[in-house]
Chain A
Amino acid sequence: GAVVSQHPSWVICKSGTSVKIECRSLDFQATTMFWYRQFPKQSLMLMATSNEGSKATYEQGVEKDKFLINHASLTLSTLTVTSAHPEDSSFYICSANLQTGSNSPLHFGNGTRLTVT
């Protein structure tokens, strides 16, 4: 069964509004979660590393004030796309290791397809 749950699966919003995406680890604690973005016909690009109880680490070129990440608990990380624009339309996926530090594969949420009109 799924070990990482992501919500919503898809969302359509108007330009200028904000959208929150939730990523939950099911039955395990994730001190670190990763947020990826995927544009059509491209691979997954890491946006940021979400750390429980501390600030997220953003990859170069990702605006931290636009993509707000909150990792307030060991099972929940949220990504808020603020003042969304059509160019933010993409597939956003979160992931987490089942066991921190162990040699286990990253598990992915089902992703959120965001369309900004």
Chain B
Amino acid sequence: EDKVVQSPLSLVVHEGDTVTLNCSYEVTNFRSLLWYKQEKKAPTFLFMLTSSGIEKKSGRLSSILDKKELFSILNITATQTGDSAIYLCAVQNSGNTPLVFGKGTRLSVIA
């Protein structure tokens, strides 16, 4: 059975801190790993990773994938209160298949 495990499940940090969110996976026919940010509504797309070792970066957020060890991390530097959200990791198998989601990491950034 396909599985995506995120850790920690929740995290509270102060503004300016750097955080690292973890995602490990076991799937049958890996195609890509995706990170989403979810606030009050539907998830918004952050990154899609398909190759090992290539960092994707967007502002203060960055992510990298290790296909050998089957995990990915999402880094957020200089956190702000607006970063407070649930961060979802999902994996997609080959073909037009649905995403398998982890349980998410609830990040709270306090001033």
Interface residues of A (CB under 8 A from B): 6, 31-32, 34, 36, 41-46, 49, 93, 95, 97, 100-101, 103-111
Contacts and interface: CB of A to CB of B under 8 A. Distances in A.
A101 B96 contact: yes
Interface residues of B, number: 23
Contacts of A42: 103
B31 to A, nearest CB: 7
Interface stretch (B13-21, B39-47, B63-71, B76-84): B39-47
A103 B42 contact: no
B43 A44 contact: yes
B95 interface: yes
Given A32-B96, A106-B99, A93 B42 contact: yes
A93 B38 CA distance: 12
A100 B97 CA distance: 10
Interface in B24-75: 31-32, 34, 41-45, 48, 50
A41 B86 CA distance: 9
A43 B98 contact: no
Nearest to A2: B42
Contacts of B101: 43-45
B42 A49 contact: no
Contacts of A45: 101
Given A31-B96, A109-B42, A44 B34 contact: no
Contacts of B48: 103-105
> Which of A42, A105, A107, A111: most chain B CB closer than 10 A?
A105
B108 interface: no
Given A93-B42, A103-B31, A105-B45, A43 B102 contact: yes
A43 B103 contact: yes
A41 B100 CA distance: 17
Nearest to B100: A46
Contacts of B44: 108
A46 B92 CA distance: 13
Contacts of B96: 31-32, 97, 100-101
A43 B104 contact: yes
